[in-house]
């Protein structure tokens, strides 16, 4: 076997504890794969108010803007299905009422300070947990300050002497930009760090930039996207910096947990099926039609499960969906996002009530039933770092029709 590593995955969201998107799926499934390979993998994330049933471990003071905040460390276990033995991954939670007991994970005016506190608490907690990682794996802007803080504040700390950092860019569009006074909550001098060659970006502090500058290695979630973000078209203003670090930048394709997404055993779908019993997939379509109030017909069912945002290419779909629904098909949508798209698809439901079922919001169980029931799955994204929907749809025998970009081109 390869060398057994001690790995800490740091993420702002992890399925099944807290989720807003694909980051949580990856943060919840990648550690399981690493555990099956024999590595000592652990996870750390904020404890949001909806997270229950955690065990108190310890607490510690964390300096923030000249005063002390308390970080409470809690723990739960993440079971690992599939493999020769039953495994459980320790999941640590950083708990603080002021910063994390909010409605929603993100979108708060003090998000910069919130995740600075999280970063500091993570590095303070590890010695108390007696877990000395070989690799700290950071994900997206919410954890991007950790590599910087590790190198600047802990460079002489023996505990972290041989710890390396990996920074994964799941979506470069979301960079975490905040006013320069956010540096105070990291105790970093403005004169040194608020410069164009450091963290300054158009008059703000750019967290994503910190992760790119200070992590030992960088990866994105597909080969194609790792090349795309080095261009002005997809680089979101950071393409020059990414080109400078090209020798440390890798594309590693995301994957899905085949134990979680398995049509033979999935308890969330109407009828289980396999390649040998693929005809049973049709029963899922009929049952979904009944659930959603669509006529029970053996016609092509086209589905879209997506955040309703411009990135997802919904303007392309809006241009053709009326013509499409004039043909003998049914259309099912699950998602939420920008008001203009929510309004557009809600009106579409009224106009084509016998052909279109529109569910504004997100329901994980309904999503599984849609994957299992559909014939065609749409992903017309303008850009897509990787995407998981196309992989899930193929797992359930549903044909993905995608825009040839990023991870969609790598996987379909």
Q: Domain spans of the chain?
A: 6-251, 278-411
CA distance 75 to 57: 7
Work out the pLDDT band at 362, boundaries 50, 70, 90: confident
Question: Any idea which residue has 């009224």 for tokens?
Answer: 350
The reported pLDDT for the residue numbered 82 is: 67
pLDDT digits (tens, 9 = 90+) for 224-237: 999 999 999 999 99
Q: Quick one: pLDDT at residue 86?
A: 76
The C-alpha angle 98, 100, 103, rounded to 5 degrees, equals 105
Cβ contacts of 29 within 8 Å, gap of 6 or more: 15, 255, 256, 257, 260
| pLDDT tens readout for residues 21-63 | 889 999 999 999 999 999 999 999 999 999 999 999 999 999 9
pLDDT at 81: 77
User: CB within 8 A of 317, min separation 6: which ones?
Assistant: 304, 378, 380
For the structural domain made of 278-411, what CATH number should be given?
Answer: 3.40.50.2000
Phi first, then psi: give them for residue 255, nearest 5 degrees. Answer: -140, 180
Asked if pLDDT for residue 358 goes beyond 60, the answer is yes
Tell me: pLDDT of 300 over 80: yes
CA-to-CA dists, residue 54 to 76, 101, 117, 190, 303, angstroms: 5, 15, 20, 38, 37
Quick count: other Cβ atoms within 10 Å of Cβ 381? 24
Which pair of tokens denotes residue 58? 């310890």
Answer whether 393's CB lies under 8 Å from 306's CB. no
**Do the domains spanning 6-251 and 278-411 agree at the CATH topology level?**
yes
* pLDDT reported for residue 259: 87
CATH no. of 6-251: 3.40.50.2000
pLDDT at residue number 83:
60
Q: How far apart are CA 269 and CA 369, in angstroms?
A: 5
- Which of 373, 374, 386 lies closest to 412, judged by CA? 386
What pLDDT sits at residue 186?
86
CA distances from 388 to 33, 65, 173 (A): 16, 39, 18
Mean pLDDT across the stretch 368-383?
97
At 137, the pLDDT band (50, 70, 90 cuts) reads: very high
- pLDDT digits 0-9 by tens, 68-85: 999 999 999 999 876 656
What does the mean pLDDT of the chain come to?
94
Strands 164-169 and 135-139: parallel
* Res 54: pLDDT: 96
Chain position carrying tokens 């009106």: 347
pLDDT(222) > 80: yes
For the full predicted model, state whether its pTM sits above 0.85. Answer: yes
Whole-number pLDDT of residue 84:
56
First to last CA, the chain: 32
């Amino acid at each position: 076997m390869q060398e057994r590593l001690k790995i800490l995955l740091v993420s702002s969201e992890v399925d099944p504890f807290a989720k807003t998107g694909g980051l949580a799926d990856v943060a919840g499934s990648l550690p399981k794969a690493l555990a099956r390979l024999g590595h000592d993998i652990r996870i750390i994330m904020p404890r949001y108010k909806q997270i229950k049933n955690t065990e108190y471990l310890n607490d510690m003071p964390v300096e923030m803007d000249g005063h002390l905040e308390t970080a409470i460390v809690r723990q739960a276990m993440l079971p690992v299905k599939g493999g020769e033995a039953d495994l459980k991954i320790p999941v640590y939670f950083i708990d603080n009422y002021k910063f994390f007991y909010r409605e929603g994970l993100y979108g708060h005016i003090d998000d910069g300070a919130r995740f600075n506190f999280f970063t500091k608490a993570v590095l303070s907690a590890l010695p108390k947990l007696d877990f000395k990682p070989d690799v700290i794996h950071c994900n997206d802007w919410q954890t991007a300050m950790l590599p910087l803080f590790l190198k600047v504040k802990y460079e002489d700390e023996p505990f972290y002497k041989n710890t390396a950092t990996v920074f994964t860019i799941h979506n470069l569009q979301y960079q975490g930009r905040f006013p320069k006074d956010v540096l105070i909550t990291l105790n970093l001098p403005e004169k040194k760090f608020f410069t164009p060659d450091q963290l300054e970006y158009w008059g703000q502090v750019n967290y994503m930039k910190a992760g790119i500058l200070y992590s030992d290695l960088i990866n994105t979630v597909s080969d194609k996207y790792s090349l795309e973000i080095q261009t002005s078209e997809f680089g979101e203003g950071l393409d020059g910096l990414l080109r400078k670090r090209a020798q440390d930048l890798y594309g590693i394709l995301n994957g899905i947990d085949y134990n979680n997404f398995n049509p033979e055993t999935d308890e969330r779908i109407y009828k289980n099926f396999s390649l040998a019993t693929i005809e049973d997939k049709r029963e899922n379509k009929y049952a979904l039609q009944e659930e959603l109030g669509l006529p029970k017909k053996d016609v092509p069912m086209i589905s879209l499960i997506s955040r309703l945002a411009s990135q997802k290419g919904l303007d392309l779909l809006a241009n053709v969906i009326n013509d499409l629904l004039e043909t003998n098909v049914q259309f099912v949508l699950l998602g939420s996002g920008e008001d203009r798209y929510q309004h557009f698809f809600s009106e579409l439901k009224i106009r084509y009530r016998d052909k279109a079922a529109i569910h504004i919001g997100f329901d994980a169980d309904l999503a599984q039933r849609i994957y299992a029931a559909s014939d065609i799955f749409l992903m017309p994204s303008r850009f897509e770092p990787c995407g998981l929907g196309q992989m899930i749809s193929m797992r359930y025998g549903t044909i993905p029709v995608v825009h040839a970009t990023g991870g969609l081109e790598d996987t379909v």
